Structure 1
């Protein structure tokens, strides 16, 4: 029996999940879980990548303890953040987190060289001040760098010794051409970034190599390092349990709502609506919009409702009648000192009822998300010229049935909720395709539909 190891590292936690096929169904087993989060250092938010790599190795050791040697392993993480390496392959500095405020004003610096409209026409990537293109503009160590690797590519380098960049994650840098699916070296040179630091682009399914002998000794076995879609959202979208055209919401820290396109939509209307064309599996574009997502609920809960379960606060919300709504795409909710106060202030500033209780604040956030999903649905249907009958909600947020019901009603569409571990499932599916245990994306999605619980929520 072939086992595959998915290492899924999110902004708040990570997990190691073993997967295999049994009677044509995918079976998962979580073997290790750990916490993650940005840390404050010298007034900046950074990632402790050394600690994360230690967790990667600790989780791999769990395979050996179970006498399981996976045929391959794959790592996915969040996007846009990167590591700079020197001539001998050592990390030059701390790894900044995307919520750090250091990129403030860097958009204006970029637009001195290329205007915002031309940048979108060229890349198809929405403006987000934390995109890699803006982070590099303030980077004072570029002259010392021999190589830049995205976070999962850096971990693959530590495991295998190979320096390559995976396509789906690279697309979020805003430095990839949606036409060539490669680095836009002309743009890179125009911005004054050193071209030599950008490594070769490889697609999901590519075999990076085997573990370095040093790593083999630590974990107790050897295996192949294979590229999944290393951007966690791209892996989650791979796990949509349908081969029909549909809308999706990858629901976690962020809500990424969109559809799949065969060609990028880099029109100015698309830009004005702030849609992005991120790379996906089989060169399908993830045409989507970023919404703050469960980050808002998690932040609120950590502030004032930690003693309650998510089910508890949803039950409180159901009893409330408050109708206030905030803009869940507003950057004010990206990293506020207090999410509770930010939501209250937004309601006050817009002349709406200000929520006071846990139930009221929960209701405002959830109905704001549902309203945002409704608006994004209308925008996608207008821009694509298609009418979608359903929305697939995948990821941890698919368990929020109160939100799923609000979404179905607001969007007037059927909502299919699940699978929960979409990112790890997509990660494993890409490895299975690479190993020819699944034929292609079509068979993978059919297998996922047959393997996991999907809950149907009727819209009105």
Structure 2
């Protein structure tokens, strides 16, 4: 009889329940449920619809029961940086504000007035991004200090979902590192930093490593879904899970987790918190098994996804309507075809420009960027797509060079995992821009990495090396 394990993998636009098991020496996957993850405007802020998210989690568990495929263990991973504050009755204080909200504008200056940017990087090793949790918390402290005063618990979003499933509160390490409040060397909350920022020390407790048991499903959940199971911490930061699924067998390749964000980097055993690394805006995210992901967060397929929504006339957030709706429904292959037909268009975007983070219109943002930087302004769909694709591939090439120079490693290949690895055109451009072979797959990298932790915990794999060997044999890898 098969032993089943469930990865609940939640991204910024959707979540899915992926069941995994071993069969004839290979890992098998089955998607049990998929649900929308949406953002809504509440009280003037862009927020996560947590109740919709929670409903999706529970419905996916019911789907396992309906298929009579009951998981031994369950692991949840999500995106990073976002959190909730709970009061003394474990009720959420305020709203679950999303990282693309504008509340963090100017908060970097607030933080750096207390701790200089160089010192912060030397402590935590996390790249500066305007939405990092440290800036979100400073926004709360400045705008609604009473929320911090009333707070008894701080939980990143996967920690919060685990709490609702089990009644047990744990703060998981890999996601916590994205807050910019964890000391890179000690792998614990930097309480000296937290004190200097004036944040309540009691919100930050012991950090738990991937593989830690959270607890059994609580009685109310068991009654609702029809079975009991154990919740285990994977690397709850989705990039941390994704990197575990890379089937690379050497240390000279870079990893690229490609989705809404592109996370490009290498695994290290020690953090690199030098001034050179800070200037290149490289980060040291905590990983499983004592590793650090030395990488850069790149805007990724978010730009392409946003352009597609506008062209198709669909909304991303309540109240935002597209003026670029064409009456044509573009698929991603359609957009790739348009881009190929416009290969002579030479404009290259800086895809990490902050104007692309959360614009009302991504197409307008692209055109304004080009005009402001004296570049040819794209007019057709193909030209818009071409400058985005060129921008992404060039950013990948620049980042590979930066990582090579700082680590001293000669990079010999790029391993792309996640949904974005299906974009053959981007893979081709990346291989051309970097001059390196590109290996694409597996597609379900994040869910697979989530399952790896569970399966190691269950004794199906002895260690990560054995798990990666199995991944290499179980899933197709395409070379470009």
Q: Distance in 1 between matches of 2:290 and 2:307?
A: 37
Checking the alignment, whether the CA contact within 8 Å between 2:370 and 2:376 is kept in structure 1 is yes
Which one of the candidate residues 293, 312, 315 is aligned to 1:286? Answer: 293
Deviation at 1:350, TM superposition (A): 2.1
Which one of the candidate residues 182, 199, 207 is aligned to 2:188? Answer: 182
Checking the alignment, whether the CA contact within 8 Å between 1:148 and 1:199 is kept in structure 2 is no
Q: Over residues 329-371 of structure 1, what are the superposed CA-to-partner deviations in whole Å (9 max), with x where a residue is unaligned?
A: 1111000111111111222222222111111111110111001
Say yes or no: does 1:308 pair with 2:330. yes
Q: Over residues 181-228 of structure 1, what are the superposed CA-to-partner deviations in whole Å (9 max), with x where a residue is unaligned?
A: 111111111111111111321111111110101110001000000001
Match of 2:115 in 1: 114
Say yes or no: does 1:339 pair with 2:362. yes
Deviation at 1:418, TM superposition (A): 0.8
Q: Distance in 2 between matches of 1:192 and 1:243?
A: 45
Deviation at 1:413, TM superposition (A): 0.2
Which one of the candidate residues 146, 155, 171 is aligned to 1:149? Answer: 155
Q: Distance in 2 between matches of 1:91 and 1:336?
A: 28
Checking the alignment, whether the CA contact within 8 Å between 1:163 and 1:199 is kept in structure 2 is no
Q: Distance in 2 between matches of 1:336 and 1:92?
A: 27
TM normalised by structure 1 equals 0.98
Q: Which runs of 5+ in 2 are unaligned?
A: 313-327
Q: Over residues 109-156 of structure 1, what are the superposed CA-to-partner deviations in whole Å (9 max), with x where a residue is unaligned?
A: 111211111000010001111111111112121100001000000000
Query: Superposition RMSD on alpha carbons, in Å?
Result: 0.9
Deviation at 1:54, TM superposition (A): 1.1
Match of 2:244 in 1: 238
Q: Distance in 2 between matches of 1:60 and 1:199?
A: 29
Say yes or no: does 1:262 pair with 2:269. yes
Match of 2:127 in 1: 126
Match of 2:466 in 1: 443
Which one of the candidate residues 340, 362, 365 is aligned to 1:318? Answer: 340
TM normalised by structure 2 equals 0.94
2:51 counterpart SS class: helix
Checking the alignment, whether the CA contact within 8 Å between 2:36 and 2:56 is kept in structure 1 is no
Say yes or no: does 1:420 pair with 2:418. no
Say yes or no: does 1:249 pair with 2:256. yes
1:4-403 alignment runs, 5 A limit: 4-139=5-140, 140=144, 141-245=147-251, 246-305=253-312, 307-320=329-342, 321-403=344-426
Q: Distance in 2 between matches of 1:337 and 1:48?
A: 19
Q: Distance in 2 between matches of 1:322 and 1:69?
A: 52
1:138 counterpart SS class: helix
Deviation at 1:243, TM superposition (A): 2.8
CA separation of 1:210 and 1:42: change in aligned 2, threshold 3 A:
same
Q: Distance in 2 between matches of 1:247 and 1:16?
A: 28
Q: Distance in 1 between matches of 2:134 and 2:378?
A: 38
Q: Distance in 2 between matches of 1:2 and 1:383?
A: 44
Q: Over residues 36-93 of structure 1, what are the superposed CA-to-partner deviations in whole Å (9 max), with x where a residue is unaligned?
A: 1221112210011121111100100011111121100000000000011111212122
Q: Distance in 1 between matches of 2:101 and 2:374?
A: 31
Q: Which runs of 5+ in 1 are unaligned?
A: none
1:278 counterpart SS class: strand
Match of 2:320 in 1: none
Q: Over residues 160-180 of structure 1, what are the superposed CA-to-partner deviations in whole Å (9 max), with x where a residue is unaligned?
A: 111111110000000101111
Moved over 4 A (4+): none
Match of 2:323 in 1: none
